[in-house]
Structure 1
Amino acid sequence: MGSKNIIWMMFYAYLTPLLMIRGTLAKESDPRSLDEFLHVHAQKIVKWPRLGAFYNIPLHSNYSGIEISYIQINTSSLWTSGINSSFIHIPPKTRIRPSVERLDIVFHHLGNLSSYYFSLPHHKFITPVIGFTAYNGDRNASAANRSSVHKLKLEGNNTILVQFEDRSIKKGENGSKKCVRFHPNGKIEYSHVVSSNVCHVRGQGHVGIVVRRAKPFWKRRATKCWAIGLGVGIGVLFFAILAGILLCNFARRKEVKSMQRQSEQSEALETVWVGGTKMPAAGRMRTQPVLENDFLP
């Protein structure tokens, strides 16, 4: 076996565990995987749910901080009465797509793990993320149909109200509060916060309230200093180029004047006409020719 093949095998053996760990972490922090896990876990805890009753579902220590509740309801009851949980109000005349006889809805409060599952550039959550997802409540349906987040959709003319605890903007937080909704397909939607920290959304997903994250003082100062330094650097470069051009022109003028002065000080030559052209000519021969000897042939 060649040395190159050995090197590639060693590299592959080293890299494979890292890729597996990375994939596992990515899956654990995926909100869709969390939704599916919470639904399956709720069904295991509550094997025979009573229609219209809320169940608080305990979780493992790995998910400490997350609170979930579970309800199974007929679609007819959802249409006539809606659903009121402790922090989410689904209004009446809400339709389910595709249509099923009964559905499961899992409500979850992510608590201090909100930023672990969701993040927005240059924004900060001032409330925990609250989510709710609807599933096919038929226990006889296939597991794939029951656990898929995209199988059921909540639709209606009236918006769903998500109520948060009152949170004021603290030091280091900039701008007004905004509602942000994370769709099951990954889309992000912003909306205004209604009084008493209420968000109006259409359809299921995860909802939170965010504000723009203010830059630290040292970053703002560094940005300002960088801008000033850039302006000063451009100015110095401009004046350096201008000074170089002026110095070149001055040196050229000085050289031309020196050449003119030398030409004026040199001996003037007589001129003669050759044909129709006037040309310089020496008036006399400065050095007389001397023969090396007087011998003539």
Structure 2
Amino acid sequence: MKPNRRHSFASQTFFFISFLLVFCLGNDKFLISTIKKNAFEAMDVSLTDVEYKVPLQGNLTSVQASAMLIRNRTFWLKGANLSSFHLPPGIISNSFSRRVLLISYNLGHNLSNSLYTSSVESGFSLISPVVGLLAYDGGDATHSNRRELGFTLTGELIVIKIPAWENRAVSYCARFGKRGYFSLEGEELNGCCLTKGPGSFGVVAKGLIGELPAAAPPPPAADAREKRWRMWMVGLGGAGSLALVSWMAIWVGSLVARRRVREMRKEADEGQVLDVMWIGGRKIPVAGLTRTVPVL
């Protein structure tokens, strides 16, 4: 078998086995590993801040995946827009990395149901494709050794635009994790969900609207930002006032001290035996006006 055919056969075998493992085990670990592997292989280190499509072969062509290599400084200052995810400025990666590789994917209808229907709590149904966001260290190591990164948000939350194929009066954002983990993240609003970091997300709802539980309120991001902003303004105002008062006190004290020194010097100069006279800003000693009477 020729080398190129051998490589093609091995690649097709890998994707076929991954596809079987995904469907038979109902676990997204192999799928995410495949997306990650192809994203690193298609990455061009000379291009940053540019979204590129992640090629997937075999039976995974229905999965839509894209990636972007972005500088950490740019990520902090401007954020990023990648497929369904809007990442605002002010995001810090938990581990230092000069560049961050962001990967997003959309599993589509069939694959989402096959992987995550069993994870959804009883009474809920998955009504949207599952989309995901991954973040890795964009250094020079091989893709198998790349560190997975988490985020710390200092500003707004990450916005996810999830395409739904079924409209319900009330629906909820859900996060899917490892080992069948499932949690509600709050009510879905206009096809958008909010999150604090990478993961897999979808929209769920109940069959009967009357049976829907009370929705968890979305995180008060705006209120929290406004509160933090007020606290910062109060702190800065107090510090600025204290600095201004201190500077004024030092300036007035300096003026008083200089004036006192000038008065002391003037008193010392005028207290000498000879009279003095100030001419043009200079001190000149002057003798008395009475002359000695000559004796014949």
Unaligned 5+ segments in structure 2 are 1-16, 209-296
**1:36-51 equivalence runs, <5 A:** 36-48=33-45, 50-51=47-48
2:163 matched residue in structure 1? 165
Q: Distance in 2 between matches of 1:202 and 1:196?
A: 19
1:291 matched residue in structure 2? none
TM-score for both structures, normalised by structure 2: 0.56
Deviations 1:200-223 (A, max 9, x none): 111100110011246xxxxxxxxx
Q: Which structure 1 residue ranges, 4+ long, deviate > 6 Å from structure 2?
A: none
Deviations 1:247-287 (A, max 9, x none): xxxxxxxxxxxxxxxxxxxxxxxxxxxxxxxxxxxxxxxxx
CA contact (8 A) 1:166 1:196 kept: no
Greater alpha carbon shift after TM alignment, 120-129 vs 51-60: 120-129
Deviation at 1:63, TM superposition (A): 0.8
Deviation at 1:73, TM superposition (A): 0.6
TM-score for both structures, normalised by structure 1: 0.56
Q: Distance in 2 between matches of 1:198 and 1:132?
A: 15
Give 3-state SS (helix, strand or coil) of 1:77's partner.
helix
Residues paired across the two proteins, number = 186
Deviation at 1:193, TM superposition (A): 2.9
Give 3-state SS (helix, strand or coil) of 1:190's partner.
strand
**1:265-276 equivalence runs, <5 A:** none
CA contact (8 A) 2:22 2:115 kept: no
CA distance 1:108–1:25, change in 2 (3 Å): closer
CA contact (8 A) 2:126 2:203 kept: yes
Letter in 2 for 1:132: L
**1:66-85 equivalence runs, <5 A:** 66-85=63-82
Residue 184 of structure 2 is aligned with which of 182, 190, 196? Answer: 190
Greater alpha carbon shift after TM alignment, 31-40 vs 123-132: 31-40
The structure number with the bigger radius of gyration is: 1
**1:39-188 equivalence runs, <5 A:** 39-48=36-45, 50-112=47-109, 113-119=111-117, 120-122=120-122, 123-138=124-139, 140-146=140-146, 151-157=148-154, 158-165=156-163, 167-169=165-167, 176-183=170-177, 187-188=181-182
CA distance 1:128–1:98, change in 2 (3 Å): same
Q: Distance in 2 between matches of 1:143 and 1:165?
A: 30
Unaligned 5+ segments in structure 1 are 1-19, 215-297
Q: Distance in 1 between matches of 2:25 and 2:39?
A: 18
CA contact (8 A) 1:126 1:167 kept: yes
1:204 correspondence with 2:198:
yes
Deviation at 1:44, TM superposition (A): 1.7
Letter in 1 for 2:108: G
Deviations 1:72-94 (A, max 9, x none): 01111110000112321011100
CA contact (8 A) 1:181 1:201 kept: no
CA distance 1:29–1:167, change in 2 (3 Å): closer
CA contact (8 A) 1:79 1:92 kept: yes
Residue 31 of structure 2 is aligned with which of 23, 26, 34? Answer: 34
Deviation at 1:168, TM superposition (A): 4.6
